[in-house]
């Protein structure tokens, strides 16, 4: 790196500082230069772009969260913008995946990104108020005026209609996709998300920790446990409290169960997408066994509301450990059965092998994480790289594949089910006795914290800012499906056969509910 | 009453369009856990073939016109089942700027199923209630 | 060779599915039979009228504003709109006298939305069996 070039930039002012400090503040003019230098220095994954509104200081703060797959470390680049007519250079020419995060900020905060390839709104339609995530927009006022006032007129109707994509309907949630095709080949794909957008990040600013713990569940339908874990951890981190040891073990066990649940649901979805309905019915029947376990442990079926900041709400009931072991043994046997039925099925192999090939470099560029990235040969797993909760205590392998096609992603998930079973078994042997919940101080201190974890679909991150009140000032959620659907899927779909679209889509295992938030 | 209503109640075809998180508890019904085909319920891709619209969860402002459109395309008699608290009162998202709080302002609803999400047993209970209502001579919309 | 491999690859799943035909079915014959409810399932609330002191803690903690305090028999009691509730159980956790508890009852479907409003008298009934 050229040290002359870097000098006038940021406050640390030497290139060493650029690499050593975890957080750097830059000025607006140097943003692109600094970020591209960081990228060359190995920070190849742009995890998230976050915006925080500070109306009292009349500024927006934009944070670029970076991660280096080679060095396994994080870095934050901060930049302050004036609140009146905020404008900043787009970095989508450095990371292609930045595009989508910038588009979100542009819509929800009204920050202009210069030279952005497509700044059209993502989530909302006909929005006439001030951008909703700004602090001066009061959602409760707005809702009262709009919905609970009987005299207000009815909603205006839009004119377009939903176009189901591909030959089959995606079985989970929805978004609109327009497919351009020349014969059988897809030449272009436009995605219109936002049918499930409900502004969870805004709602969190109005609720206390306890109430938020119930709300984060609803971010992702297929795997709520990971998000609960993320919220509980970020709240503990910002308060400087550690959860009790036993609570950590319980959380890890339940999160891993959630991972198996999510992957088994996905077997059903994937086989449904391939038109192979027997496997679908059988997998969704098996799902019930794990849900039953979650129900016994937490009292809820889909949304357990089990983890809260400071621990867990319920300890394991009597004899629960044996019940888990029994189900795990059953699943282990069943996995061989699934091998014959699904994973080594000639039809499945024919439909997925060589379809939707994603090479490692492009995958990182697009912001792909989790099993989809590991299927392309990148050995990256946050559970190993920055161990959290009880993961330091267990011994497991990172499942990787090399080919990067849909079949590699299928096999990757199969490997992960097996690994998760072994992780839970190890944890059950080591689980300590003791208390399970600590009380957190009511006020959230005035600082920020970020916590990343490996959800079943990839990297999920929570960023929280406190403000000496009992409600968080800002929470930003980074869901893996946001990049997977909007960047990776549209990249892979281009040039594919129309009939392969469901196979590609479901091999990525996205969750539209997590994408829209 | 009569044979017409009896047979109608035994062949409810559902449109394969499930809005939000409520759909997850329909999976046991689609899968072999509860198996809705025993009741003559089939999931259909086209609104023209469907009798029942299941509103499975919150409806955003953006999705509402599409749901209305689907509802209008369905042939009469048609029935509507609303799952979860969200379509009923706003539920979890009662103060969200982007979701609809009362779906019955826009679409008539026949059976309300509470829960967040409703248990599969409860959904079954709702479906059986709908079937009973039709058997007792309910003409639909 | 390739052909043989693909044929074998197809026979195996078919065999597996054929074997399932002779197994006990997974399907539950709802409504005549249903799974035994889990003891601690968070279902409908139960209110003990004697224990409740009308403090309103439950209504303040509820994330969905589902609880309203109403007058009943000359005292204030919570009234729960089950159509707003998300069955999170925070109100039960917060109740200082343990007057509010949750029952595993989950069969709550209604023809009419207003039936989902459970006043103190309805809340204090035990589940009918
Ligand atoms: S009621 Fe609960 S499960 Fe249903 S859509 Fe609303 S938040 Fe989701
Ligand atoms: S139920 Fe409990 S929390 Fe609610 S008013 Fe009665 S005593 Fe207070
Ligand atoms: S269970 Fe939760 S949502 Fe329902 S009334 Fe109690 S606190 Fe409110």
Q: Provide the edge-to-edge strand list for the sheet that holds C117-118.
A: C67-72, C75-81, C117-118
Contact status, residue A206 vs residue B92, Cβ threshold 8 Å:
no
Chain B contact probe: residue of A161, A197, A261, A517 with most B CBs at under 10 A: A197
The ligand 1 atom nearest the CA atom of B57? 5
Residue A138: pLDDT above 80? no
Across the range A446-453, mean pLDDT stands at 85
Residue A216: pLDDT above 60? yes
| B98 Cα–ligand 1 center, Å | 14
Composition of chain B by helix, strand, coil, percent to 5: 45, 15, 40
Q: Which among A146, A235, A305 has a CA at the least distance from the CA of A463?
A: A235
Does the Cβ of C86 fall within 6 Å of ligand 1?
Answer: yes
Residue B21, C-beta contacts closer than 8 angstroms, at least 6 positions apart:
A218, A221, A302, A513, B56, B57, B58, B84, B117
Q: Provide the edge-to-edge strand list for the sheet that holds A45-54.
A: A23-26, A73-82, A59-68, A45-54
Q: What is the pLDDT of residue A177?
A: 65
- In angstroms, the first-to-last Cα distance of chain B is 17
Per the structure, the complete domain to which residue C59 belongs is given by 29-123
Chains contacting chain A through 3 or more C-beta pairs under 8 A: B, C
CATH level 3 topology of A200-516: Cytochrome-c3 Hydrogenase; chain B (1.10.645)
Q: Which among A107, A43, A35, A101 has a CA at the least distance from the CA of A69?
A: A43
Domain with residue C50: its CATH number is 3.30.70.3270
Across the range B114-121, mean pLDDT stands at 83
| A302 Cα–ligand 3 center, Å | 16
Chain A contact probe: residue of C6, C14, C18, C40 with most A CBs at under 10 A: C40
Tens digits of per-residue pLDDT, A333-385?
A: 888 888 877 777 777 777 777 777 888 888 888 888 888 888 888 888 888 88
Across the range C31-49, mean pLDDT stands at 78
Mean pLDDT lowest for which of A110-124, A136-150, A174-188? A174-188
- DSSP letter at A157? P
C45-to-A37, A210, A481 alpha-carbon distances in Å: 59, 19, 36
Residue A158: pLDDT above 50? no
Alpha-carbon span A512 to A174, nearest angstrom: 6
Across the range A139-156, mean pLDDT stands at 61
Band of residue A92 on the pLDDT scale cut at 50, 70, 90: confident
- Domain positions in chain B are 3-135
Alpha-carbon span A312 to A289, nearest angstrom: 22
Band of residue A161 on the pLDDT scale cut at 50, 70, 90: very low
Alpha-carbon span A26 to A10, nearest angstrom: 5
Band of residue C127 on the pLDDT scale cut at 50, 70, 90: low
Does the Cβ of B24 fall within 6 Å of ligand 1?
Answer: no
Alpha-carbon span A297 to B14, nearest angstrom: 33
User: From the CA of C91, which ligand is nearest?
Assistant: 3
The SS3 call for residue A452 is: strand
The C-alpha torsion from B107 through B109 and B114 to B120, rounded to 10°, is -110
Question: How much of chain A exceeds pLDDT 90, in percent?
Answer: 0
> Max alpha carbon distance in chain A (Å)?
66
Alpha-carbon span A357 to B2, nearest angstrom: 58
Query: From the CB of residue B94, how many other CB atoms can be counted at a distance below 10 Å?
Result: 21
Q: What is the pLDDT of residue A155?
A: 44
Band of residue A179 on the pLDDT scale cut at 50, 70, 90: low
Give chain B positions within 8 Å (CB) of A258. Answer: none
Q: Is B114 on the interface with C (CB under 8 A)?
A: yes
Alpha-carbon span A304 to C87, nearest angstrom: 10
Contact status, residue A502 vs residue A168, Cβ threshold 8 Å:
yes
Tens digits of per-residue pLDDT, C74-103?
A: 888 888 888 888 888 888 888 888 888 888
Overall domain count for chain C: 1
Tens digits of per-residue pLDDT, A323-335?
A: 888 888 888 888 8
The residues of chain A that CATH labels 1.10.645.10 are 200-516
Does the Cβ of B18 fall within 6 Å of ligand 1?
Answer: no
Across the range A163-176, mean pLDDT stands at 47
Q: What is the CATH number of domain B3-135?
A: 3.40.50.12280
Strands A112-114 and A176-182: unpaired
- The nearest CA of chain C is from the CA of B126 a distance in Å of 5
Does the Cβ of C97 fall within 6 Å of ligand 2?
Answer: yes
User: From the CA of B100, which ligand is nearest?
Assistant: 1
CB distance C9–A345 less than 8 Å? yes
Tens digits of per-residue pLDDT, A223-253?
A: 888 888 888 888 888 888 888 888 888 888 8
Of A214, A285, A344, the CB nearest to C90: A214
Q: Provide the edge-to-edge strand list for the sheet that holds A448-454.
A: A448-454, A459-465, A474-478
Does the Cβ of C95 fall within 6 Å of ligand 2?
Answer: yes
Across the range C43-71, mean pLDDT stands at 84
Give chain A positions within 8 Å (CB) of B94. Answer: 143
Give chain B positions within 8 Å (CB) of C29. Answer: 38
Q: What is the pLDDT of residue A7?
A: 38
CB distance C111–B92 less than 8 Å? no
Q: What is the pLDDT of residue B1?
A: 61
With respect to residue C68, please indicate whether it lies within any of the assigned structural domains. Answer: yes
Residue A13: pLDDT above 50? no
Across the range B10-19, mean pLDDT stands at 74
Residue nearest to atom 6 of ligand 3 (CA): C91
Mean pLDDT lowest for which of A23-27, A333-337, C25-29? C25-29
Mean pLDDT lowest for which of A287-301, A463-477, B62-76? B62-76
- What is the reported pTM? 0.85
Alpha-carbon span A339 to C16, nearest angstrom: 10
> Max alpha carbon distance in chain B (Å)?
47
Task: Give me the DSSP letters along A181-203.
Answer: EETTEEEEEEEE--TT---HHHH
CB distance A214–C12 less than 8 Å? no
Across the range A409-436, mean pLDDT stands at 86
Band of residue A175 on the pLDDT scale cut at 50, 70, 90: low
Across the range A192-213, mean pLDDT stands at 83
Across the range A438-463, mean pLDDT stands at 84
Does CATH place domain A1-142 in 3.30.460.80? Answer: yes
Query: From the CB of residue A211, how many other CB atoms can be counted at a distance below 10 Å?
Result: 18
H/E/C letters for each residue in A71-104?
A: CCEEEEEEEEEECCCCEEECCCCCCCCHHHHHHH
- The nearest CA of chain A is from the CA of C6 a distance in Å of 6
Residue A19: pLDDT above 70? no
With respect to residue C10, please indicate whether it lies within any of the assigned structural domains. Answer: no
CA A11 to chain centroid: 32
Band of residue B2 on the pLDDT scale cut at 50, 70, 90: confident
């Amino acid at each position: 790196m050229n040290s002359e070039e870097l000098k006038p930039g940021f406050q640390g002012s030497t290139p060493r500082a650029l690499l050593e400090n975890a957080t750097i503040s830059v000025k607006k003019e140097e943003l692109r230069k600094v970020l591209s230098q960081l990228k060359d220095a190995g920070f190849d994954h742009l995890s998230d772009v976050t915006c925080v509104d500070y109306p009292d200081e009349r500024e927006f703060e934009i944070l670029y969260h970076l991660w280096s797959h080679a060095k396994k470390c994080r870095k934050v680049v901060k930049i302050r913008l004036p609140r009146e007519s905020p404008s900043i250079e787009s970095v989508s020419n450095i990371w292609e995946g930045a595009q989508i995060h910038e588009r979100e900020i542009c819509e929800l905060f009204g920050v202009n990104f210069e030279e952005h390839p497509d700044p059209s709104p993502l989530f909302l339609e006909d929005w006439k108020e001030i951008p909703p995530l700004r602090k001066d927009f009061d959602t409760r006022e707005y809702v009262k005026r709009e919905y609970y006032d009987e005299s207000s007129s009815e909603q205006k109707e839009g004119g377009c209609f939903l176009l189901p994509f591909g030959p089959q309907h995606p079985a989970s949630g929805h978004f609109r996709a327009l497919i351009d095709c020349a014969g059988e080949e897809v030449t272009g794909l436009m995605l219109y998300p936002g049918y499930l957008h409900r502004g969870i990040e805004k709602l969190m600013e109005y609720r206390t920790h306890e109430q938020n713990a119930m709300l984060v569940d609803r971010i992702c339908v297929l795997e709520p446990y990971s998000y609960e874990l993320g919220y509980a951890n970020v709240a503990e981190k910002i308060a400087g409290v550690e959860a009790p040891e036993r609570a950590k073990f319980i959380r890890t066990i339940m999160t891993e169960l959630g991972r198996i649940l999510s992957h088994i649901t996905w077997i059903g979805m994937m086989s449904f997408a391939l038109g192979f309905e027997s496997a679908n019915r059988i997998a969704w029947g098996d799902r019930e066994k794990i849900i039953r376990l979650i129900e016994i442990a937490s009292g809820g079926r889909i949304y357990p509301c089990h983890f809260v900041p400071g621990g867990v709400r319920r300890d394991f009931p009597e004899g629960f450990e044996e019940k888990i072991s029994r189900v795990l043994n059953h699943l282990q046997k069943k996995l061989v059965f699934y091998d014959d039925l699904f994973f080594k099925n000639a039809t499945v192999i024919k439909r997925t092998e060589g379809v939707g090939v994603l090479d490692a470099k492009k995958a990182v560029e697009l912001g792909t994480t989790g099993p989809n990235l590991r299927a392309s040969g990148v050995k990256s797993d946050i559970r190993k790289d920055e161990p959290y909760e009880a993961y330091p205590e267990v011994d497991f392998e990172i499942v990787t594949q090399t080919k990067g096609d849909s079949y590699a992603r299928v096999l990757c998930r199969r490997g992960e089910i097996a690994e998760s079973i072994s992780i839970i078994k190890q944890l059950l042997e080591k689980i300590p006795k003791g208390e399970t919940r600590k009380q957190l101080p009511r006020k959230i201190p005035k600082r920020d914290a970020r916590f990343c974890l490996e959800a079943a679909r990839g990297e999920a991150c929570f960023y929280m800012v406190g403000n000496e009140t009992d409600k968080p000032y800002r929470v930003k959620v980074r869901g893996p499906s946001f990049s997977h659907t909007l960047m990776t899927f549209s990249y892979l779909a281009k040039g594919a056969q129309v009939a392969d679209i469901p196979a590609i889509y479901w091999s990525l295992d996205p969750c539209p509910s997590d994408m829209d938030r | 009453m009569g044979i017409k209503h009896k047979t109608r109640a035994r062949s409810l075809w559902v449109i394969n369009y499930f809005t939000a998180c409520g759909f997850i508890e329909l999976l046991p019904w689609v899968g072999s856990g509860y198996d809705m085909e025993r009741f003559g319920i089939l999931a259909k891709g086209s609104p023209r073939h469907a009798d029942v619209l299941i509103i499975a969860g919150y409806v955003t402002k953006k999705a509402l016109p599409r749901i209305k459109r689907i509802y209008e395309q369905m042939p009469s008699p048609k029935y509507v089942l609303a799952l979860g608290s969200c379509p009923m009162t706003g539920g979890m998202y009662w103060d969200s700027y982007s979701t609809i709080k009362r779906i019955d302002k826009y679409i008539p609803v026949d059976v309300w199923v509470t829960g967040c999400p409703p248990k599969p047993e409860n959904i079954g209970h709702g479906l059986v209630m709908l079937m009973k209502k039709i058997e007792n001579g309910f003409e639909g919309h | 060779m390739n052909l043989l491999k693909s044929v074998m690859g197809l026979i195996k799943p078919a065999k597996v599915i054929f074997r399932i035909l002779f197994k006990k079915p997974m399907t539950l014959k709802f409504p005549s039979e249903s799974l035994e409810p889990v003891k601690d399932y968070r279902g409908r609330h139960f209110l003990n009228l004697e224990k409740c002191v009308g403090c309103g803690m439950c209504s303040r903690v509820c994330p969905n504003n589902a609880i309203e305090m109403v007058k009943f028999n000359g005292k204030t009691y919570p009234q729960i709109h089950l159509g707003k509730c998300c069955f999170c159980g925070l109100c039960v956790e917060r109740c200082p006298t343990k007057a509010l508890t949750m029952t595993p009852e989950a069969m709550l479907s209604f023809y009419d939305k207003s039936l989902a409003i459970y006043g103190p008298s309805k809340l204090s009934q035990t589940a009918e069996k």
